[in-house]
Amino acid sequence: MCFGEGGMKLDGAAIAGRRVVEAVLRLSDEAQAIGMMGGRRIVRVSGAGDSLSDACESLLEQHRSSQDSLVIIEAEDIASKSSLRKLFEACPHAAVIACYHDEAAALGGIVEGQIREAGFAISREALDYLAQSLGGDRGVTRSEIEKLLLYKGDDKTEITLAEAMTCIGDRAAFALDDLIDAVCSGDLKGLDKQFDRNIIELPAIVMLRRMSAHFLRLHPMVDRLRQGDKLDQVFASARPPIPWPAKARYERHCRIWSPAAIGLALHQLMETEAQAMRQHALAAAITRRGFIDIAATARRLRDRGTRR
């Protein structure tokens, strides 16, 4: 992958897996390499952690100017005590920039601002759909909105829900659909498989919040069903609408869970998130354990319903 005039993207975990000397040499070689087309070269290291601190310390000693090349080290959530973070904070020719995931409450304003800045208007239903469908990555959000604006072209009429759904799938939900289904259905084997698949690309906190968002949406549906409403009525009035491929999953979850059980699951997710935030290094293990406990509850509820 190239950046600017020339560039290289490296995997931080792969570099850290080498011996320190090899890791130092690899980073140093890439930082000092000359771009084939001339101009400044950008080296981007993703997935970095404290295991890369020694290699980065040597790199910072050798690489004191970004005139010929710029090295960008990307890391997931790291605590203030992180050796990698402290290293860059103390270095006069380096900088630390915090890039926070967008919260769901702020996402609507971000989306609406970009759309209005481009000279378009958007319906409330379409805005609500986009706010719930896009994840916390600002770069992905902007890219998806640009795709929607390109679709509209010279048509300056208000962006409708149908247009938003046509252009933009539920990225955050699609990435976690199978994991959420495994947890809510009590499928422990599927949970392990899907958790391992998702934790590679998504922070544990994002996974917890998406799980909470699903239960928050499920709760009023289950409550209405307990009050006597028909499933078709509940689905028809859902806002944003439930995509057709997801309806079978929602129906299954509605039949397993009760409002009281959902309340307990949400409380457990909140406690799990608080614990994961306190112990960043163990966030993945803490999140997995929390999901397993909720899936075990789902299995008991499912089996109880089957016996009836």
Which pLDDT belongs to residue 15? 56
Which pLDDT belongs to residue 59? 82
Assess contact for 160 and 176: CB atoms under 8 A. no
Instruction: Report the amino acid identity of residue 256.
Output: I
Which pLDDT belongs to residue 4? 38
* β 69-75/6-11 pair status: unpaired
Cα distances from 233 to residues 133, 150, 152, 252, in angstroms, run: 22, 35, 32, 16
User: Buried b vs exposed e over 197-225: b needs ≥16 C-beta within 10 Å?
Assistant: ebbeebbbbbbbbbbbbbbebbbebbebb
Which pLDDT belongs to residue 126? 87
More confident residue, 67 or 162: 162
Please state, rounded to an integer, the average pLDDT across all residues of the chain: 82
Which pLDDT belongs to residue 166? 78
Which pLDDT belongs to residue 191? 94
For 149, the token pair is 């604006």
Q: From CA 78, how far away is CA 47, in angstroms rounded?
A: 11
Assess contact for 125 and 93: CB atoms under 8 A. no
pLDDT digit string, tens, across residues 257-281? 999 999 999 999 999 999 998 888 8
- pTM, 2 dp: 0.50
Which pLDDT belongs to residue 19? 59
Identify any residues that bridge with 122 across adjacent strands, giving them in sequence order.
159
pLDDT digit string, tens, across residues 106-129? 778 888 999 999 999 999 888 887
Identify any residues that bridge with 9 across adjacent strands, giving them in sequence order.
44
For 115, the token pair is 């759309």
Cα distances from 183 to residues 18, 178, 215, 223, 272, in angstroms, run: 36, 9, 11, 20, 15
pLDDT digit string, tens, across residues 148-168? 999 888 888 999 988 887 777
Which pLDDT belongs to residue 260? 95
Predicted confidence band at 74 (pLDDT cuts at 50, 70, 90)? confident
Predicted confidence band at 308 (pLDDT cuts at 50, 70, 90)? very low
Q: From CA 224, how far away is CA 282, in angstroms rounded?
A: 38
Domains of the chain: 6-90 (3.40.50.300), 104-167 (1.10.8.60), 171-307 (1.20.272)
In the predicted structure, residue 212 carries a pLDDT above the cut 90? yes
Residue 266, helix vs strand vs coil: helix
Q: Give all strands of the β-sheet with 41-48 in edge-to-edge order.
A: 6-11, 41-48, 69-75
Which pLDDT belongs to residue 64? 77
